[in-house]
């Protein structure tokens, strides 16, 4: 099957792209890396009147430190992060996530912004950047606004993007040196979409932490205060205090009714926690 006919535009800069999005061209779709929209066009799951190619916009390829945040342009690729071509404020956490995304050909083309806007529940950046408490920046012709990523991801393939808006940047807070990062996912084989993802960012010094359970049918389950998962406190012994029943209850509260599905997700989150606690390195794509 081939795509239905559509018009194609490659604007010269961000302002021109936003003008196109604000114009009356019928249904408009954005293409950057093309790793999601390409197959959707071929299968005619989407049939836009106009495809706007933003891959070449220099404003969306930038990465810079701004105070205690890393600003990533939406068209920064997974490979840019994997290969260290952007500053690192996460102690290597983002590079580890990037290196386990699909295959190198996908990482060379796929973009951070495209992954977040598509909001596939099994996408790595959706879960990982929620655990890192990232914020996104949206631009339209007349205004810009920022949203916590947790407010942007509304559900599976569903985001809080208004007509005429474009995701232009992701802002990632600097991770304290005392924090511990863990990220694990369950795939039938390397490179496939994950069936369960667990991610944690835990700081035994401040006693604070976040946990995110991804690859669920709805929006990822975000546990913004992870202390109840460890008996009420996060200290240097957190890995030995993990309460699987608390996670199972959180998944039940989120609407996951299948006990086997809950068990798989609890197990994957436990692996992320063991990784964060230094109790054996676990591959991000461990089955």
pLDDT digit string, tens, across residues 266-276: 999 999 999 99
Residues 6+ apart with CB under 8 A from 15: none
pLDDT of residue 283: 46
**122 in Cβ contact with 100 (< 8 Å):** no
> Using CB atoms within 10 A of its CB, is residue 46 exposed (0-12), middle (13-18) or buried (19+)?
middle
pLDDT of residue 136: 98
Q: Rounding to the nearest 10 degrees, give the CA dihedral for residues 261, 45, 97, 112.
A: -140
Q: Which residues in the chain land under pLDDT 50?
A: 281-283, 286-287
Across 130-161, b (16+ Cβ under 10 Å) vs e yields bbbbbbbbbbbeeeeeebebbebbeebeebeb
**Beta-bridge partner residues of 9:** 52
**Residue where the block lists tokens 């299968």:** 43
- pTM, two decimal places: 0.95
Q: Please tell me the distance from the alpha carbon of residue 7 to that of residue 205, in angstroms, as a whole number.
A: 55
């Amino acid at each position: 099957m081939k795509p239905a006919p559509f018009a194609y535009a490659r604007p010269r800069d961000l302002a021109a792209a936003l003008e196109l999005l604000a114009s009356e061209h019928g249904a408009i779709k954005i293409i950057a890396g093309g790793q999601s929209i390409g197959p959707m066009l071929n299968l005619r799951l989407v049939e836009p009147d106009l495809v706007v190619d933003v891959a070449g916009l220099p404003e969306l390829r930038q990465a810079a430190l701004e105070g205690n945040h890393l600003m990533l342009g939406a068209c920064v690729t997974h490979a840019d992060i994997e290969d260290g071509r952007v500053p690192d404020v996460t102690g290597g956490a983002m590079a580890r996530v990037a290196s386990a995304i699909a295959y190198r050909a996908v990482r060379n083309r796929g973009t951070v912004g495209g992954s977040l806007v598509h909001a596939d529940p099994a996408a790595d950046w959706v879960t990982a950047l929620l655990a890192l408490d990232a914020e996104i920046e949206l631009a339209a012709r007349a205004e810009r606004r920022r949203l916590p990523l947790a407010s942007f991801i509304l559900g599976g393939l569903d985001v809080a993007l208004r007509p005429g808006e474009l995701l232009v940047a992701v802002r990632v807070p600097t991770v304290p040196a005392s924090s511990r990062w863990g990220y694990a996912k369950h795939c039938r084989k390397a490179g496939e979409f994950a069936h369960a993802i667990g991610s944690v960012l835990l700081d035994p010094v401040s006693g604070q932490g976040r946990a995110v359970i991804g690859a669920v049918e709805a929006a990822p389950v975000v546990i913004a205060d992870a202390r109840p998962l460890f008996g009420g406190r996060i200290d240097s012994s957190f890995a030995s205090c993990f309460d699987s029943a608390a996670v199972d209850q959180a998944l039940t509260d989120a609407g996951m009714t299948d006990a086997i599905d809950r068990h798989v997700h609890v197990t994957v989150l436990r692996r992320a926690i063991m990784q964060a606690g230094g109790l054996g390195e676990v591959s991000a794509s461990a089955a």
